[in-house]
Amino acid sequence: MDKNRRRVLLHSTGALAGLGFAQLGIAAPAAKAAGPTAGVHVELRAVRGRASLRPGNTTAVWRYEGKLLQGEAESLQAGDGYLGPTIRVRRGQRLRVEFTNDLPEPTTIHWHGLHVPDDMDGHPRHAVAPGQRFVYEFPVVNRAGTYWYHAHPHGRTGFQVYHGLAGLLLISDDEEQALSLPGGAQDVALVLQDRNFDRDNRFVYPSGGMGGGGMMGRGMMGRDGTGSGMGGGMARMMGVLGEKILVNGRQLPSLGVERRPYRLRLVNGSNTRSYKLAWSDGSPLTVLATDGGLLAASQERPYVMLGPAERVEVWVDFARWPASGELALHSLEFDPGMSMGGLALPDGARFPVLAFDLRSAGAAGAVQPPRQLSQLPAPQPGMAVNADRPKVFDLTMGMMTWGVNGRSFEMLEASSEETVKLGTHEVWEFRNEGRGAMMGMVMPHSMHIHGLQFRVLEREVSSRFAPAYRAVQAGLVDDGWKDTVLVMPGERVRVLVGFHDYPGLFIYHCHMLEHEDSGLMRNYLVKA
Ligand code: C2O
Ligand code: CU
């Protein structure tokens, strides 16, 4: 690892040349409190194991096992054998995670959506070698909301998350608690993941390298083999779509619910797939929260788009439906832009995600969520140092790599436009216009910035993509805090980003994990 680090550093160019390790935040880890501190203290191990994901054989998985060392009983809820344990913390607490890597390869843990010091963020340069231990520790400063954690090693994030290295991290705070939203069994997190299995229920994940023709139909190209001629490496670079949908590590389970209000936390934990989520009977979805917590007020949407790593929380009162009624959450058809077939499941049609089994004869009618949810000031682009000149980040596709402004990921490299000043705000514009793309292929990208929450300012779509865009537009929930934003084909999305508290080197990338692993990831450097 150290040898690699040095090699990469020598090869780095541009703005990085002349910067010392200290400025990169590498040699200067944030001060750590000695020993356990007040808050939640857990042990996590990344291990190999087996899980029962669908009828038939168990599946070999990689997963997190957890143990609560300090905290209340509900601070750590055991996972289901595939997803890791759910960690619950209150804003203001310290979270300390003693991590051991029992896998045969390096890994890191990234606390997705959390504002943490750079050496606690799970950057691939902080990989934990097999058999090694690392202690993650930081104060939890984020708003109440639905966050998650997952593996993040260089070039292997897609593989490791696919095999199970992900879990939920739920934060609560006083503002949220004062609302008395549905709790207990009526507060349900649903992690959506698409996977492929072979006949013996083994995961099928395309290996790297060109010419893996056997992988056709397992990557983006669809099981009908459309696009044959491309090797497994190429198919994987496009992204991996699964034909089976897992919800909390189970294939199409039905969830028994009572006819009363629920808070559903929907998490897209898929590698590449975006969902267009809607109730099967066409009723609107009532959205309470986005990635970074509660909206100012709930919003009704005919459907909600959820790109990889995005979260929404919805309010649903199942009393609205008769006890005998059938209700399901579906993903609706939409055109993801790249018209090479085989993109949706199955084969472009709408598909069910989760069926609800409406138990008990509760009172008819439906309770509405609280009118006001949160204090959420409108974003103020004027506070950005570059308010009228957004920095442009062009999402580009090369022959075998993805990139930003034509550059792929380098472990320690940040260009001048990727260098920002601590304590400032900037406007960034992600452009998804198919620059450098082969055959004019343009795909959605789910852009994630580490270490912070941002606000979406505006979206613009080019006329060529406007018709396809109309089928997703009403489902883009942009009004709250976000750490991941779906950038559709032909779109320019402007976001307001603030860099606070922690100097250092962080990453931003597409959360379609095979895009990330194929270079659609870069560092940004926060200079003190
Ligand atoms: Cu959830 Cu860098 O990712
Ligand atoms: Cu992407």
Task: Tell me the average pLDDT across 332-360.
Answer: 70
123 lines ligand 1 (CB under 6 A): no
**DSSP run (H or E) holding 275:** strand 275-279
Return the CATH number of 381-527, one of 3.40.50.150, 3.40.1280.10, 3.30.470.20, 2.60.40.420: 2.60.40.420
pLDDT digits (tens, 9 = 90+) for 82-139: 999 999 999 999 999 999 999 999 999 999 999 999 999 999 999 999 999 999 999 9
Residue 208: per-residue pLDDT: 58
pLDDT digits (tens, 9 = 90+) for 504-513: 999 999 999 9
Q: Whose CA is closest to atom 3 on ligand 1? A: 112
Counting residues of the chain whose pLDDT is more than 90, the rounded percentage is 73
152 lines ligand 1 (CB under 6 A): yes
pLDDT digits (tens, 9 = 90+) for 374-433: 999 999 999 999 999 999 999 998 878 899 999 999 999 999 999 999 999 999 999 999
- Residue 516 alpha carbon, nearest atom of ligand 1: 2
What are the residue ranges spanned by the domains of the chain?
Answer: 32-174, 191-205+240-359, 381-527
CA distances from 407 to 157, 494, 518 (A): 19, 20, 11
Work out the end-to-end distance of the chain between its first and last CA atoms, rounded to an integer number of angstroms: 27
The reply to whether CATH 2.30.30.40 applies to domain 32-174 is: no
Q: Using 50, 70 and 90 to split pLDDT, how confident is the model at 79?
A: confident
Task: Extract the tokens encoding 392.
Answer: 């442009």
Of the two residues 233 and 526, the one the predictor is more confident about is 526
Q: Whose CA is closest to atom 1 on ligand 1? A: 112
Please name the amino acid found at residue 410: E
pTM: 0.89
Of the two residues 221 and 239, the one the predictor is more confident about is 239
Task: Tell me the average pLDDT across 201-207.
Answer: 93
**Ligand of minimum distance to the alpha carbon of 396:** 2
Is residue 466 within 8 Å of residue 429, measured between CB atoms? Answer: no
Is residue 121 within 8 Å of residue 110, measured between CB atoms? Answer: yes
522 lines ligand 1 (CB under 6 A): no
Residue 70: per-residue pLDDT: 94
CA distances from 146 to 63, 290, 345 (A): 20, 8, 26
Task: Extract the tokens encoding 485.
Answer: 């934003």
pLDDT at residue 48 tops 50: yes
Residue 438 has a CB neighbour count (10 Å cut-off) of: 10
Query: Rounded to the nearest whole angstrom, what is the distance from the C-alpha of residue 151 to the centroid of ligand 1?
Result: 8
509 lines ligand 1 (CB under 6 A): yes
Residue 235: per-residue pLDDT: 72
The 3-state secondary structure of 8-26 reads HHHHCCHHHCCCCHHHHCC
- Residue 113 alpha carbon, nearest atom of ligand 1: 1
150 lines ligand 1 (CB under 6 A): yes
309 lines ligand 1 (CB under 6 A): yes
- Residue 450 alpha carbon, nearest atom of ligand 1: 2
CA dist 215 and 469 (Å) reads: 30
Burial code of 360-385, b = ≥16 C-beta within 10 A, e = fewer? eeeeeebeebeeebbebeebebeebe
494 lines ligand 1 (CB under 6 A): no
Residue 50: per-residue pLDDT: 96
Residue 339 has a CB neighbour count (10 Å cut-off) of: 11
Query: Rounded to the nearest whole angstrom, what is the distance from the C-alpha of residue 280 to the centroid of ligand 1?
Result: 31
DSSP 185: G
- Residue 309 alpha carbon, nearest atom of ligand 1: 1
Query: Rounded to the nearest whole angstrom, what is the distance from the C-alpha of residue 511 to the centroid of ligand 1?
Result: 6
Counting residues of the chain whose pLDDT is more than 70, the rounded percentage is 84
Residue 19: per-residue pLDDT: 32
- Residue 148 alpha carbon, nearest atom of ligand 1: 1
Query: Rounded to the nearest whole angstrom, what is the distance from the C-alpha of residue 170 to the centroid of ligand 1?
Result: 16
Sign of CA dihedral 68, 74, 76, 81: positive
pLDDT at residue 142 tops 60: yes
Kindly report the average pLDDT of the chain as a whole number.
Answer: 86
The reply to whether CATH 1.10.1140.10 applies to domain 191-205+240-359 is: no
Residue 350: per-residue pLDDT: 87
Residue 234: per-residue pLDDT: 73
Residue 10 makes CB contacts below 8 A (sequence gap 6+) with none
- Residue 112 alpha carbon, nearest atom of ligand 1: 1
Query: Rounded to the nearest whole angstrom, what is the distance from the C-alpha of residue 447 to the centroid of ligand 2?
Result: 7
Query: Rounded to the nearest whole angstrom, what is the distance from the C-alpha of residue 138 to the centroid of ligand 2?
Result: 29
Residue 245: per-residue pLDDT: 94
The 3-state secondary structure of 369-419 reads CCCCCCCCCCCCHHHECCCCCCEEEEEEECCCCEEECCECCCCCCCCHHHE
pLDDT at residue 340 tops 80: no
Same topology for domains 191-205+240-359 and 381-527, yes or no?
yes
